[in-house]
Structure 1
Amino acid sequence: MIDELRATAFERLPDYLMSIPDPARPEAAASPTHTPGDIGRTPLERLCDTLDAMFEACSTFPEPSHSTFFARTMRLALAEAAADPALLAPAQREGSADTYRRHLLFADPRGRYAIAALVWQPGQASPVHAHHTWCGYTVVDGKLSETIFEWDDAQQCASALRVEARNRGAVSFVRSGRGAIHRLGNCSNAPALSLHIYGVEGARIGTHVNDIVRGADAAELV
């Protein structure tokens, strides 16, 4: 039954998305491919079209983000959007000297998701956090460092497991909960930019996404 639902879902996605290589494979860096119907649509509009189609395709699932189809297609959609140099306007690439800066790009009128660009100056980092909702991101420009944590329920804190370099084109998707705790930061000497999609209303992006937790080794992390 699940296989049948997944097959139906893929049939209802935009044709151009189905031509995008999987980011897990080396050929994922190839140029985006669009159908004639996409002419005149901005990269952000195409991304929203894809997200809307994903939700429609997963309408039979109790929680769309729990399906493998949703996670895989979200990664493909992020990779497609990040590969287009016309995705962001110059003003949406502006950072802040104080902390990383978030630019809200689009808020779904139905409250299912919000899309934001995050600009990281050298040395800026997020707090250690899990997520109250599902979240997908990709690195658009520059290089980020992601520290992965494990939650210790007895100590009520998170312990660092490893640090991964997230170069341009890297894509990630996690579901809600403390099974996925991380910290993103810019360890390089140049600005970095990432694109994020959260499963919340746009007005709640600053309050209902990050579940900030105590990190046992937070002082030593970037």
Structure 2
Amino acid sequence: MTTTPVAAAGPTTARLRALVTAVRETVDRGLAPEPTSRLVAERIAPHLGAPDLLTPEQCAPDPVHYRQHVLHAEPDGSFSVVAIVWLPGQSTPIHDHVSWCAAGVHRGEEHERRYQLVPDGTSARLVATEDVVNRAGEVAAFAPPGDIHSVRNSGDGTALSLHVYGADITRLGTSVRRLYRLPADR
């Protein structure tokens, strides 16, 4: 998976600081991954589309592949906030994650294909289970296992999404647990 990692920077806008505080309060409840991801998604939603959420630097794309801006990593490693910027045609490979995640589309739209890993004789294959278009203002939440997907900007303009992962992305370098190179529905 090729991305342009950016070192974590502290929250730079009042709105982003407020979001981080709301996420911290939610994560500190100590709930299981699935309800945590759903509650964090609810915290993200009111901030999506707000012009004062991110700085222009945090919205900058990369001309070759999607770009990840780590906006905040909680000192105890319990979560990270990341902005992902996608130019038209940029996409991820099929992958899953190391932790729960909540994501919301800030600008544009993302096309997501979800997969299920199924046995196929002596090996396995990926079967597409759902195609989802996530539009500006929409949020999604998931927790492993069963979070295998690929994401693509199929639109004509730049897409930007905000992701909160239940891990310290600055230490791990990525939110991805595994890339899947198995036969898959396209």
Normalising to structure 2: TM-score of the pair? 0.84
Match of 2:24 in 1: 52
The secondary structure found in structure 2 opposite 1:180 is coil
Whichever residue aligns with residue 132 of structure 2, its letter is E
Task: Find the partner of 2:83 among 117, 139, 143.
Answer: 117
Match of 1:158 in 2: 126
Higher helix share: 1
Contact 1:106 1:202 in 2 (8 A): no
Whichever residue aligns with residue 57 of structure 1, its letter is R
The secondary structure found in structure 1 opposite 2:103 is strand
Q: Deviations over 1:78-104 (max 9, x none)?
A: 102214221110011111111100001
- Measured on the aligned residues, the alpha-carbon RMSD in Å equals 1.9
Equivalent residue runs for 1:3-82 within 5 Å: 42-58=14-30, 61=31, 64-66=32-34, 68=35, 70-82=36-48
Measured after TM superposition, the shift of residue 149 of structure 1 is: 0.8
Match of 1:129 in 2: 95
Match of 1:192 in 2: 159
The secondary structure found in structure 1 opposite 2:26 is helix
Unaligned 5+ residue runs, structure 1?
A: 1-40
User: What is the CA–CA distance in structure 2 between the aligned matches of 1:211 and 1:44, rounded to whole Å?
Assistant: 29
Structure whose alpha-carbon radius of gyration is higher: 1
Measured after TM superposition, the shift of residue 215 of structure 1 is: 4.7
Whichever residue aligns with residue 199 of structure 1, its letter is G
Q: Deviations over 1:105-127 (max 9, x none)?
A: 00101110111100000000011
Higher relative contact order (CA 8 A, sep 6+): 2
Normalising to structure 1: TM-score of the pair? 0.71
Aligned residues: 172
Measured after TM superposition, the shift of residue 214 of structure 1 is: 2.4
Higher strand share: 2
